[in-house]
Chains A and B, each alone.
Chain A
Amino acid sequence: MNISDYRGVMVFAEQRSGVVQKIAHELLGVGRRIADTLGEPLMALLIGSKVTEAQAQDLIAQGADTVILADDPAFAVYMTEPYAKAMALAIETYKPGIVFTGATTIGRDLAPRVSARVKTGLTADCTGLEVEEETRNLLMTRPAFGGNIMATIICPEHRPQMSTVRPGVMRKLDRDNKRAGTIARLAVNIEAKDINVEILEVVVEKSTKKNIEEANVLVSGGRGLGTEENFKKLNNVAAELGGLVSASRAVVDAGWATQDRQVGQTGKTVRPDVYIACGISGMIQHIAGMEDSDFIVAINKNSGAPIFEYADLGIVTDVNKLVPALVEELRTIKAAS
């Protein structure tokens, strides 16, 4: 392999039921930065059935120079082999130096399959992506050991350099409808043998619950609250601030909150404007999921709790007394304004 033949950044623009996912925009955000650093083009690969030029234009507005459309009825619902065939063909055709895929339940199925096929390395769940100035290699940083340590991985002699990127970590660009770009079509020959699984049923659970990854304010509870009843009182604070309640793993394990509210290494990564940690000690696994929040408030009666090392504002006091006091204070302010 002559690695100098490989140029540009390609991102997998994941769609579900024809809707391009937020992760695609996040990948375009980081992809744009890396492509500009290298002075190389940014490509978006959109695989689907009846994918449109309007969707391609949208990906251009989000940062892509070229959108590659792979359109086939076989791509209507995600299946490993047809998608892997399309992605491998796109890599073979366009020879990108870097390929980003979201670390979603689709991306984490597809990317390893493709990396094995094109014989290159893959770094999972990256949270940091930079270009090494000297070598122009991609530096891929990811949590390992349950989030206890960070590792920076390189793929020096194989191309493309592939990584899956953790959702919620990279910032998407502001939409620019004036951005110019090109649209290309990729013909993928899907044969009967490529449809090697039979999908019997597709169930999309339209969650009416709000997503903690979208919230501007999160009031997050930990084991230090002591009881489920105390945890439920966080709803009052969240209501006053127009935010949502999230939780540490201990709280989810105790059954006080559902899994979709869990912040941390095994839960979700969040970056709200304000994160209020109530009775959370700050295990490294939790920190990994919230440390990029703009403003972190920590309340814990133990002044030695690690959470205070990450907080912008820390209050050492009994959290179960502070919560009602905070609700009262917020209501007073609201009444006065």
Chain B
Amino acid sequence: MNIVVCMKQVPDTTEVKIDPVTGTLIREGIPSIINPDDKSGLEAALGLKDEVGAKVTVLSMGPPQADVALREALAMGADEAVLLSDRAFGGADTWATSTTLAAALTKLGFDLIICGRQAIDGDTAQVGPQIAEHLGLPQVSYVSELQLAGDSVVVKRIFEDGYQRIKVRMPCLLTTLKDMNTPRYMSVAGIYDAYKKHIQLWGLADIVVDQANIGLKGSPTRVKKSFTKGTKSAGKVYEVDAKEGARIIVEALREKYVI
């Protein structure tokens, strides 16, 4: 069985801070990590590999330094790694990104594709379902449990108000939630092996894709502007003892007719 896990290297957005003076993002010193939903997807794939034997390939699109994330995946136990990196891929929105990844997946071949539900820097949750559409595959997103059942997988699919258990025949695409498991650590032997393994670097010439559909040019959406949220005009602040504070709050709530 061939499993391909799509991964993104992302800045750890929980560590991001805003410069209070300029109102801009402080990017320096922010660690890069494997996107959490993707890492759990990788763990699920490695679990299937342990259980029934499978070849696990990790695929990422990004700048050359994204090989760090792939190296970590290899050290966790992935068999092969492919990095899609080319200027022509740059500036892509989810439509163009999914088109590029779909072309690489076609070249790789697969029985099962696993993507993380969403990346913490974009939070869109779009690339997985869009890849599935480009490849004409059934998809199940928001997966929190995964079992193999012959030529199918049985998954638990989470909703706001419950869940479904769904059986889907392979080839198919799943998007996974970070809560589904606890990803294993890299082993010492794994780290050693990871540096012996070769990360394949694929550019535009290595995949079959219409150039009009990739990169910035192939992206239907554009970022018109980005900004940090301004604070609203601050209200009154009192430095008082607890009793006086309570009195002020109650008075304000009475004015608002809450009490």
Contacts and interface: CB of A to CB of B under 8 A. Distances in A.
A284 B123 CA distance: 16
Nearest to B122: A144
B159 A106 contact: yes
Contacts of B192: none
A202 B95 CA distance: 31
Contact of B245 (A153, A216, A310, A317): A317
Interface in A221-266: 241
Interface in B215-256: 219-229, 231-232, 234-243, 245-250, 252-254, 256
Nearest to B222: A154
Interface stretch (B45-53, B62-70, B81-89, B160-168): B160-168
Nearest to A195: B138
B229 A284 contact: yes
B235 A313 contact: yes
B21 interface: no
B240 A204 contact: no
B158 interface: yes
Interface string B87-106: 00000011100100000000
B184 interface: no
Interface stretch (B71-79, B129-137, B199-207): B129-137
A115 B139 contact: no
B129 A109 contact: yes
Contacts, number: 251
A158 B256 contact: no
Contacts of B121: 144-146
Interface residues of B, number: 77
Contacts of A333: 250, 254, 259
A330 B259 contact: yes
Nearest to B229: A150
A207 interface: yes
Q: For chain A, which range describes its interface: under 10, 10 to 19, 20 to 34, or 35 or more residues?
A: 35 or more
Given A217-B258, A330-B259, A152 B161 contact: no
Nearest to B234: A309
Contact of A200 (B11, B125, B166, B259): B166
Q: Which of B14, B121, B159 is the most central at the interface, judged by chain A CB atoms within 10 Å of its CB?
A: B159
B154 interface: yes
Contacts of A157: 220
A295 B255 CA distance: 11
B224 A313 contact: no
Contact of A325 (B161, B221, B242, B256): B242
Contact of B258 (A115, A202, A274, A321): A274
B191 interface: no
Nearest to B228: A149
Contacts of A312: 235-236, 252
A117 B98 CA distance: 12
B126 interface: yes
A316 B234 CA distance: 14
A291 B229 CA distance: 11
B145 to A, nearest CB: 12
A315 B25 contact: no
A203 B167 contact: no
Given A81-B138, A106-B159, A117-B133, A308 B237 contact: yes
State the 5 A-B residue pairs at the shortest beta-carbon distance, nearest first. Answer: A146-B13, A121-B220, A314-B237, A121-B221, A321-B242
Interface of A: 16, 77, 80-81, 84, 104-106, 108-109, 111-113, 115-117, 119-125, 139, 143-146, 148-158, 196-207, 216-217, 241, 273-274, 276, 284-285, 287-288, 291, 295-297, 299, 303, 308-318, 321-322, 324-326, 328-330, 333-334
